[in-house]
Chains A and B, each alone.
Chain A
């Protein structure tokens, strides 16, 4: 079945460590996105990529980095520079820009202790 897979579902890291969240899609979508959800907040855009080897900052990119070496994969690294990394992270993909729906993965809950 086609879809988006995020791993792991739960992740614990010590403060000051970098951590990478995985996102893979087999929908053949060009565009991929990373969102962050905090309690009482909507989904806020961290980074997006419209095509392989290209990505752009979203609204809250500070302390995060991404890569898009393959169409299917869009990993997100939460660096030690991110001041409040504990959150629920969601990866999504769309066919492309414009009026199309986004498909989401199941999310990764990152807890920094």
Chain B
């Protein structure tokens, strides 16, 4: 069962407008979330993260919002630029209090963002 879900495979936004990418999770033990950006045939690059003790984190044009009660987070990009066209992944590391259990990041399936001129 998917613990991190990105239900929109693709999103098309006009240049200069706001892009909003959504992510839902099912594991209430997750306490940290990350967004990655990925171009074709390249490795993902880290964009922004948020701890569960916050509900918002901002870095330039990128803002991530976290709604713990809804188990939902979103990435806002404003204004959207042509170079933002890429696949965006939401991810969460294994909970910090999971003892000696599994490690690694759990990823959603990604949302392909297309910025139209």
Residue positions of A touching B, CB distance < 8 A = 4, 6, 9, 31, 33, 35, 40-45, 48, 50, 56, 58, 88, 90, 92, 97-107, 109
Contact B42 A107 (CB under 8 A): yes
Contact A41 B31 (CB under 8 A): no
Report B-chain residues with C-beta under 8 Å of the C-beta of A109: 41
Within 8 A of A (CB), among B21-57: 31-32, 34, 36, 41-46, 49, 51
User: In the assembly, what is the distance between CA of A17 and CA of B75, in Å?
Assistant: 42
Residue of B nearest to A105 (CB): B43
**Is B58 located at the chain interface by the 8 A CB criterion?**
no
Smallest beta-carbon distance B4→chain A, Å: 8
Contact B43 A48 (CB under 8 A): no
Report B-chain residues with C-beta under 8 Å of the C-beta of A92: 43, 105
Most chain A CB within 10 A, of B46, B102, B108, is at B102
Q: How many residues of chain B have a CB within 8 Å of chain A?
A: 29
Contact B94 A106 (CB under 8 A): no
The SS class assigned to the A binding surface is: strand
**A-B contact list, 29 entries, CB within 8 Å:** A6-B43, A33-B104, A40-B9, A42-B89, A42-B107, A42-B109, A42-B110, A43-B44, A43-B89, A43-B107, A44-B107, A45-B105, A45-B106, A50-B103, A58-B104, A92-B43, A92-B105, A97-B93, A97-B94, A98-B32, A99-B51, A99-B96, A101-B34, A101-B49, A104-B36, A105-B43, A106-B43, A107-B41, A107-B42
Contact A97 B103 (CB under 8 A): yes
B77-112 interface bits toward A, Cβ cutoff 8 Å, 1 = contact, 0 = none: 000000000000101011010000011111111100
Residue of B nearest to A97 (CB): B103
User: In the assembly, what is the distance between CA of A31 and CA of B102, in Å?
Assistant: 12
Smallest beta-carbon distance A33→chain B, Å: 5
Smallest beta-carbon distance B91→chain A, Å: 8
Among B42, B104, B109, the residue within 8 A (CB) of A40 is B109
